[in-house]
């Protein structure tokens, strides 16, 4: 099958069935790697590292990267890689775009229904819990090393210090209104300084 | 949809706001929340805190990337199909450009030591920002015992290894509890 059609077919499927965000696309990509020569397990690992350390939604990053590699390895030119990356990305986005357009319409219609409002009153606290869980999964491997042999190895000291410092700074009245980007830039600078002096 | 739609939001503003969100969110999904709050709630008032949470809840159990789902919602609310198209394009574009560039010169950039150091610091900051969002949510949005029970239960069900429940089921369960609770309150209200 033509590579473009293959990408459209496969990424429409991923976009339609991978519910719950970025990392949920991973099992689907592994299945792709088994099926096609243009994607390997090595590339997927590299892709996850790349996606996590570059801005943007993970799912989009991974689709763009897989699409690019497919075109690049098949046609041997970066320009073709961009066209296949575009194909994969648009295919990934389209199903959720359509689904949300429909959901938004339906919700708008039932906005004043009691059942819908009650459902959302139960949902909001649960979502707060889910977001806390996401924070935990981001923070846990950074601050603690669960494979460590002893107690002192268990705590990643530089990370804990930076974490504590940022928690305090971001909650100071003076800085509370600053754009999140300021703190991200600050942390990047601190990351470079710590990396070059103490080492992470 | 609501009366707040009378003043039209410019398509360009929608596009650029979501481009900023896409360009400066590391880690995807929930990491987007602080940026979304800033751009869509605090700065512009395009959506309320509650709406944003609702979008996230729906994004959990609908297919696709949560960032895209939320962008679609916000765009659709203000400018219909074209608005949704602009916000989605905005949130996707930075990733697309950056990944294409990096894929072309992948190893050379990602292997530079100070790039890795910087990214390590950024990861810590992302965690801090999400935690701050959680603190804010708990302070402003969670009321009553049932609210706390629901949020702690949701957290534990997803995090603890012997549960590892999919967020989809947490969302569905919480919605059902909300409906049942509403029915109970209604019934006891009419009896009293």
d(CA A110, CA A108): 6
Q: What is residue B109's predicted lDDT score, i.e. its pLDDT?
A: 64
d(CA A97, CA A95): 5
d(CA B1, CA B185): 28
CA distances from A9 to A25, A71, A119, B86 (A): 15, 15, 35, 24
Q: Give A44's pLDDT tier (boundaries 50, 70, 90).
A: confident
Q: Cβ contact (<8 Å) for B179 and A115?
A: yes
Q: Give A22's pLDDT tier (boundaries 50, 70, 90).
A: low
**Is pLDDT of A90 > 50?**
yes
**Is pLDDT of A41 > 50?**
yes
Q: Give B190's pLDDT tier (boundaries 50, 70, 90).
A: low
Out of B104, B113, B175, name the one closest to residue A123 (CB): B175
The average pLDDT across A65-93 equals 91
By the CB < 8 Å criterion, does A71 face chain B?
no
Collapsed DSSP state (helix, strand, coil) of residue A19: strand
**Is pLDDT of B192 > 50?**
no
**Is pLDDT of B106 > 70?**
no
Q: Give A153's pLDDT tier (boundaries 50, 70, 90).
A: confident
Q: Give A31's pLDDT tier (boundaries 50, 70, 90).
A: confident
A57 vs A51, higher pLDDT: A57
Q: Where are the domains of chain B?
A: 3-141, 143-192
How large a percentage of chain A has pLDDT more than 70?
Answer: 94
Q: What is residue A23's predicted lDDT score, i.e. its pLDDT?
A: 60
Q: Cβ contact (<8 Å) for B60 and A132?
A: no
Kindly list the residues from chain B whose CB atom is less than 8 angstroms away from the CB atom of residue A139: 124, 127, 131
The average pLDDT across B160-184 equals 85
Q: What is residue B1's predicted lDDT score, i.e. its pLDDT?
A: 42
Backbone dihedral angles phi then psi of residue A174, each to the nearest 5 degrees:
-60, -40
Kindly list the residues from chain B whose CB atom is less than 8 angstroms away from the CB atom of residue A107: 58
Q: What is residue A21's predicted lDDT score, i.e. its pLDDT?
A: 56
d(CA A37, CA A15): 21
Residues 6 or more apart whose Cβ sits within 8 Å of residue B85: A97, B75
The average pLDDT across B132-154 equals 85
pLDDT tens, position by position, B15-38: 999 999 988 877 666 778 888 888
Q: Where are the domains of chain A?
A: 3-108, 144-197
The average pLDDT across B110-136 equals 83
Token pair in block for residue B45: 């008032």
**Is pLDDT of B191 > 60?**
no
By the CB < 8 Å criterion, does B132 face chain A?
yes
Token pair in block for residue B142: 């969670």
The average pLDDT across B133-149 equals 83
**Is pLDDT of B95 > 70?**
yes
The average pLDDT across A88-98 equals 93
Q: Which of B59, B67, B77 has its CA nearest to residue B24?
A: B67
A142 vs B166, higher pLDDT: A142
By the CB < 8 Å criterion, does B174 face chain A?
yes
A23 vs A175, higher pLDDT: A175
Q: Which of B34, B139, B1, B24 has its CA nearest to residue A101?
A: B1
Kindly list the residues from chain A whose CB atom is less than 8 angstroms away from the CB atom of residue B65: 15, 21-22, 57-60, 92-93, 96
Average pLDDT, chain B: 84
Q: Cβ contact (<8 Å) for A138 and B62?
A: no
Kindly list the residues from chain B whose CB atom is less than 8 angstroms away from the CB atom of residue A95: 63-64
Q: What is residue B16's predicted lDDT score, i.e. its pLDDT?
A: 95
Q: What is residue A20's predicted lDDT score, i.e. its pLDDT?
A: 55
**Is pLDDT of B87 > 90?**
yes
- Give chain B as a 3 state SS string: CCHHHHCCCCHHHHHHHHHHHHHHCECCHHHHHHHHHHHHHHCCCCCCHHHHHHHHHHHHHCECCHHHHHHHHHHHHHHHHHHHHHHHHHHHHHHHHHHHHHHHCHHHHHCCHHHHHHHHHHHHHHHHHHHHHHHHHHHHHCCHHHHHHHHHHHHHHHHCCCCCCCHHHHHHHHHHHHHHHHHHHHHHHHHC
Kindly list the residues from chain B whose CB atom is less than 8 angstroms away from the CB atom of residue A99: 62-64, 69
Q: What is residue B5's predicted lDDT score, i.e. its pLDDT?
A: 47
By the CB < 8 Å criterion, does B44 face chain A?
no
Token pair in block for residue A25: 């696309």
Q: Cβ contact (<8 Å) for A189 and B1?
A: no
d(CA B58, CA B66): 9
Q: Which of A99, B55, A105 has its CA nearest to residue B47?
A: B55
Identify the DSSP state of A150: S
Q: What is residue B105's predicted lDDT score, i.e. its pLDDT?
A: 74
Most confident among A70-79, B7-16, B80-89 (mean pLDDT): B80-89
Q: What is residue B4's predicted lDDT score, i.e. its pLDDT?
A: 46
Q: Give A1's pLDDT tier (boundaries 50, 70, 90).
A: low
Q: What is residue B83's predicted lDDT score, i.e. its pLDDT?
A: 95
Average pLDDT, chain A: 85
State if pTM tops 0.95: no
- CB contact at 8 A, B102 and B110: yes
Q: What is residue A17's predicted lDDT score, i.e. its pLDDT?
A: 76
By the CB < 8 Å criterion, does B82 face chain A?
no
């Amino acid at each position: 099958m033509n590579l473009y059609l293959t990408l459209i077919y496969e990424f429409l499927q991923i976009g339609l069935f991978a519910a719950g965000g970025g990392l949920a696309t991973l099992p689907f990509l592994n299945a792709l790697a088994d099926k096609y020569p243009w994607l390997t397990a090595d590339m997927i690992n590299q892709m996850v590292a790349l996606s996590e350390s570059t801005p943007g939604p993970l799912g989009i990053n991974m689709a763009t990267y897989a699409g690019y590699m497919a075109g690049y390895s098949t046609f041997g030119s970066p320009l073709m890689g961009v066209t296949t990356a575009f194909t994969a990305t648009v295919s990934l986005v389209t199903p959720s775009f359509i689904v949300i357009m429909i959901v938004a319409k339906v919700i708008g219609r039932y906005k004043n229904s009691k059942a819908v409002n009650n459902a959302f009153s139960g949902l909001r606290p649960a979502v707060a819990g889910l977001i806390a869980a996401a924070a935990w999964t981001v923070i846990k491997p950074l601050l603690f090393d669960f494979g460590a042999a002893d107690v002192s190895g268990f705590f990643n000291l530089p990370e804990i210090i930076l974490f504590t410092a940022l928690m305090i700074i971001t909650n100071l009245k003076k800085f509370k209104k600053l754009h999140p980007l300021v703190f991200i830039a600050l942390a990047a600078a601190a990351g470079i300084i710590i990396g070059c002096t103490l080492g992470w | 949809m609501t009366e707040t739609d009378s003043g039209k939001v410019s398509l360009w503003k929608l596009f650029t706001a979501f481009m900023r969100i896409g360009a400066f969110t590391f880690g995807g999904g929930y990491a987007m929340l602080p940026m979304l709050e800033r751009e869509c709630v605090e700065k512009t008032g395009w959506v309320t805190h509650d709406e944003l949470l609702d979008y996230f809840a729906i994004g959990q159990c609908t297919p696709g990337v949560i960032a895209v789902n939320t962008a679609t919602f916000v765009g659709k609310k203000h400018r219909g199909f074209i608005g949704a198209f602009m916000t989605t394009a905005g949130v996707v574009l930075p990733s697309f450009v950056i990944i294409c560039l990096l894929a072309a010169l992948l190893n050379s950039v990602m292997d530079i030591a100070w790039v890795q150091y910087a990214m390590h610091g950024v990861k810590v900051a992302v965690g801090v920002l999400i935690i701050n969002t959680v603190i804010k949510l708990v302070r402003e949005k969670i009321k009553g015992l049932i609210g706390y029970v629901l949020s702690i239960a949701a957290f534990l069900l997803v995090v603890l290894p012997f549960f590892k429940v999919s967020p989809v089921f947490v969302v569905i369960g919480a919605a059902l509890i909300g409906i049942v609770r509403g029915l109970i309150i209604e019934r006891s209200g009419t009896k009293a």
